[in-house]
């Protein structure tokens, strides 16, 4: 009996202990720990996303290139909407009644009790008019956002634009983005998206079963603030950029200017340009399609994506490599009789009869013959098999950043064209080929393709006497002005410093000697070292090219200018480069107004083709009339057809 009562008390004690434990836990959950309450209340919360201000972008002098402008997304909860003046509502937000019906039906199909986007990107002006009467339209509310604004409408291809994320971008971000979010689509906006976008915040609003607001949840204790994106200080000089865009008006081509001592890009002109503000607002889609259909391709980023044969400017590289490999010395002389005979029946013509020519004069007079001989010595007159010697030459050229990406902080950079030995072996069906099979490479023609950025970077290499820093467009990030380590590392090109001086002397003669091809672009009191080029173009008129750096000692700027279908480099590209150099170094222009106006008023845009006119001819066998069309062929097309 005693044993029975003992077991009874033990069992009662266990039940009491369990009850006390459960009550204690319940008290802790309901009174002490409110996380469970938060979880339960999530079913009756409206989470308003607070979008952060995107990081602004400044020029090198901290002048604004890109800033933010407030816009307003109009949201709707269909279940809260009551009868109202629909026509007045449509008038306020500038839509038609048909558009209203379509948008409201879409919102209802999504959910009657959850908010959805009704109309995006209302302007501040539209919002101001709507706000006064918003109380008349129950179920509608406004969500604040911001979009980009470009106060000077400059550098569109460099800065890029933002747009709504797509499904692929959401998936790639591990669902960081949501439908309706904005993301950098091109340019710096895309390259530095992770830094510019900032961090979203959330505001928790209590709502009842009808989704009507009941106030802030827990007095905002669980709200999070939005964190603005980092500001970027770009390397761009806004005044120089605007001046370059002005000079390139009505022209197709590029200007790229680099500070040799840092690799910072000072100007990045892609012409024709477009107003980046076209890619903002409710007309963005229409403007985007308009730009895509423009035959002059303003959205094409020419400085990093266009590939041109470099022409005579490539002689600078061959002169340096020729010395490094011992093929020539500064005193090496070749005779120019008006061309270089590379086979029994083949002659590479020169622009003049230069006579006996040394290295310096070959640069000054841009002698094709001289570089035919140099290339012959580099490929054929070595102890190596020509294809092996070619590979050695190709590797040396590649160290100048030709044929590979330079690594600029922009997406979709092209690497250019620098054929391999295997390419020519396959082309000729044998490896028994030599310099005569690709002699045009000696003067920068043939299969070569170089971007304007690579051209400018080559001048930075020459200005530095043998090294460069990766070209980059952002020099500092955030308030701490952090610079990426990769942009401060010196890259050597494998040519000794002593070999640069005779080449630089020749480049100085190009601009500063009366017989130089770029003498028209001389600047008083600034020694510019440059090289003109006229690039053969199989599709039309030749391209005008000029590369340079200045001053000769302690260079401040290296530049490349290319204008498509403009002809001689000395006539158009060199004067533009000269004006850009003077603008950057002096911040003013000393040349006569007529000198500048000639450039500003020039146009090299292609003439739109007119539709062929129908010509009515009488049939020889009947009295009926037939229509035939006469098509006028351009000289280039006739030549191709022949």
pLDDT tens, position by position, 515-563: 888 999 999 999 999 999 988 887 888 999 999 999 999 999 999 999 9
Which helix (H) or strand (E) is 491 found in, with range?
A: strand 491-492
For position 329, what pLDDT does the model report?
96
| Equal CATH topology for 46-234 and 238-601 | no
DSSP-derived letter for residue 476 is E
Q: In this structure, how many other beta carbons lie within 10 angstroms of the beta carbon of residue 482?
A: 11
Provide the total of helices (H) and of strands (E) in the chain, helices listed first.
22, 24
List the domain boundaries for the chain: 2-33, 46-234, 238-601
Fold of the domain spanning 238-601: Beta-lactamase (3.40.710)
Give the integer Cα–Cα distance in Å for 312 and 568.
Answer: 11
SS3 511: helix
pLDDT band at residue 627 under the 50/70/90 scheme: very low
| Cα Rg of the chain (Å, integer) | 34
Give the homologous superfamily in CATH for domain 46-234.
Answer: Penicillin-binding protein 2a (Domain 2) (3.90.1310.10)
Using CA atoms, how far apart are residues 113 and 79, in angstroms rounded to an integer?
5
The overall average pLDDT reported for the chain is 87
The residue with greater pLDDT, 286 or 19, is 286
The residue with greater pLDDT, 40 or 536, is 536
Dist CA 636 CA 165 (whole Å): 44
Q: Would you state the pLDDT for residue 213?
A: 65
**Measured between alpha carbons, how far apart are the two ends of the chain, in Å?**
124
Mean pLDDT computed over 573-596:
96
Q: Give the residue among 472, 557, 483, 570 at the shortest CA–CA distance from 240.
A: 557
Question: Nearest to residue 301, comparing CAs of 106, 481, 448, 159?
Answer: 159
Farthest CA pair distance, the chain: 136
In this prediction, residue 218 carries a pLDDT of 74
Judged against a pLDDT cut of 50, whether residue 634 lies above it is answered with no
Mean pLDDT of all residues in 398-422: 95
Q: State how beta strands 201-207 and 491-492 pair.
A: unpaired
* 270 phi/psi in degrees, rounded to 5: -120, 120
Compute the distance between CA of residue 199 and CA of residue 610 in angstroms, rounded to an integer.
53
Instruction: Give kind and range of the element (H or E) at residue 467.
Output: strand 467-468
Residue 223, classified by CB atoms within 10 Å of its CB into exposed (0-12), middle (13-18) or buried (19+), is middle
Q: State how beta strands 57-58 and 232-234 pair.
A: parallel
d(CA 615, CA 596): 46
Nearest one of 455, 441, 411, 581 to 511, comparing CA atoms: 581
CA 407 vs CA 39, 103, 402, 415, 452: distances in Å = 48, 45, 12, 9, 14
Hey, what are 184's tokens?
């950098």
pLDDT at 187: 95
Mean pLDDT value across residues 351-372:
95
Query: pTM of the entire structure?
Result: 0.84
Give the pLDDT band of residue 35 (cuts 50, 70, 90): low
Q: What is the pLDDT of residue 630?
A: 33
Stretch among 319-323, 379-383, 478-482, 623-627 having the lowest mean pLDDT: 623-627
CA torsion sign for 249, 253, 257, 263 is: positive
- Name beta bridge partners: 253: 271, 563
Determine the Cα–Cα distance for residues 352 and 369; give it in Å rounded to an integer. 10
Q: Stretch 72-92: mean pLDDT, rounded? A: 90
Who wins on pLDDT, 528 or 24? Answer: 528
Return the minimum-mean-pLDDT range out of 297-311, 403-417, 481-495, 623-637.
Answer: 623-637
Is the predicted pLDDT of residue 492 greater than 70, yes or no? Answer: yes
């Amino acid at each position: 009996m005693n044993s029975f009562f003992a077991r009874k008390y033990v069992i009662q004690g266990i039940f009491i202990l369990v009850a006390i434990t459960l009550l204690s836990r319940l008290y802790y959950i309901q009174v002490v720990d409110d996380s469970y309450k938060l979880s339960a209340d999530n079913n009756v919360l409206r989470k308003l996303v607070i979008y952060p201000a995107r990081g602004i972008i400044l020029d090198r002098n901290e002048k604004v290139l890109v800033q933010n402008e407030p816009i307003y997304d109009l949201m709707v909860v269909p279940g809260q909407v009551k009868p109202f003046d629909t026509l007045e509502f449509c008038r306020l937000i500038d839509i038609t009644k048909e558009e209203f019906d379509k948008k409201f039906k879409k919102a209802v199909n999504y959910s009657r009790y959850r908010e959805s986007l009704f109309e995006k990107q209302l302007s501040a002006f539209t919002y101001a008019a709507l706000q006064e009467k918003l109380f008349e339209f129950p179920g509608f509310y406004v969500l604040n956002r911001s979009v980009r604004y470009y106060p000077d409408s400059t550098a569109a291809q460099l800065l890029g634009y933002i747009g709504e994320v797509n499904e692929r971008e959401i998936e790639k971000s591990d669902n960081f983005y949501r439908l309706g979010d904005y993301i950098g689509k091109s340019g710096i906006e895309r390259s530095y998206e992770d830094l510019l976008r900032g961090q979203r915040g959330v505001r928790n609003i209590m709502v009842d079963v009808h989704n009507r607001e009941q106030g802030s949840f827990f007095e905002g204790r669980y709200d999070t603030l939005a964190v603005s994106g980092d500001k970027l200080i770009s390397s761009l000089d806004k005044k120089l950029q605007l001046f370059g865009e002005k000079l390139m008006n009505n022209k197709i081509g590029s200007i790229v200017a680099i500070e040799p001592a840092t690799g910072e890009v000072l100007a990045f002109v892609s012409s024709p340009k477009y107003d980046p503000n076209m890619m903002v607002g409710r007309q963005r889609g229409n403007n985007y399609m308009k730009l895509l259909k423009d035959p002059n391709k303003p959205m094409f980023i020419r400085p990093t994506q266009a590939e041109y044969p470099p022409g005579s400017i490539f002689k600078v590289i061959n002169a340096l490599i020729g010395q490094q490999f011992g093929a020539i010395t500064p005193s090496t002389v070749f005779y120019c009789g008006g061309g270089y005979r590379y086979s029994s029946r083949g002659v590479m013509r020169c622009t003049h009869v230069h006579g006996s020519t040394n290295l310096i004069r070959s640069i000054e007079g841009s002698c094709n013959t001289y570089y035919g001989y140099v290339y012959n010595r580099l490929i054929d007159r070595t102890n190596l098999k020509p294809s092996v010697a070619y590979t050695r030459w190709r590797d040396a050229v590649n160290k100048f950043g030709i044929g590979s990406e330079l690594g600029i902080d922009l997406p979709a950079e092209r690497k250019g064209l620098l054929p391999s030995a295997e390419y020519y072996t396959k082309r000729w069906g044998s490896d028994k080929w030599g310099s005569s099979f690709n002699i045009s490479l000696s003067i920068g023609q043939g299969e070569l393709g170089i971007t304007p950025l690579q051209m400018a970077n080559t001048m930075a290499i020459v200005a530095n006497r043998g090294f460069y820093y990766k070209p980059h467009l952002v020099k500092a990030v955030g308030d701490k002005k952090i610079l990426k380590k990769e942009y401060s590392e010196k890259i050597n090109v494998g040519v000794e410093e002593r070999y640069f001086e005779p080449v630089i002397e020749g480049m100085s003669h190009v601009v500063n000697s009366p017989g130089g091809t770029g003498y028209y672009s001389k600047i008083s009191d600034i020694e510019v070292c440059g090289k003109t080029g006229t690039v053969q173009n199989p599709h039309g008129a030749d391209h005008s090219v000029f590369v340079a750096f200045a001053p000769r000692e302690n260079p401040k700027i290296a530049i490349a200018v290319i204008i498509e279908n403009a002809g001689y480099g000395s006539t158009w590209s060199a004067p533009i480069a000269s004006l850009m150099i003077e603008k950057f170094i002096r911040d003013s222009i000393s040349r006569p107004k007529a000198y500048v106006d000639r450039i500003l008023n020039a146009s090299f845009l292609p003439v739109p083709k007119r539709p062929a006119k129908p010509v009515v001819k009488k049939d020889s066998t009947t009295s009926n009339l037939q229509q035939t069309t006469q098509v006028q062929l351009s000289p280039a097309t006739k030549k191709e057809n022949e």
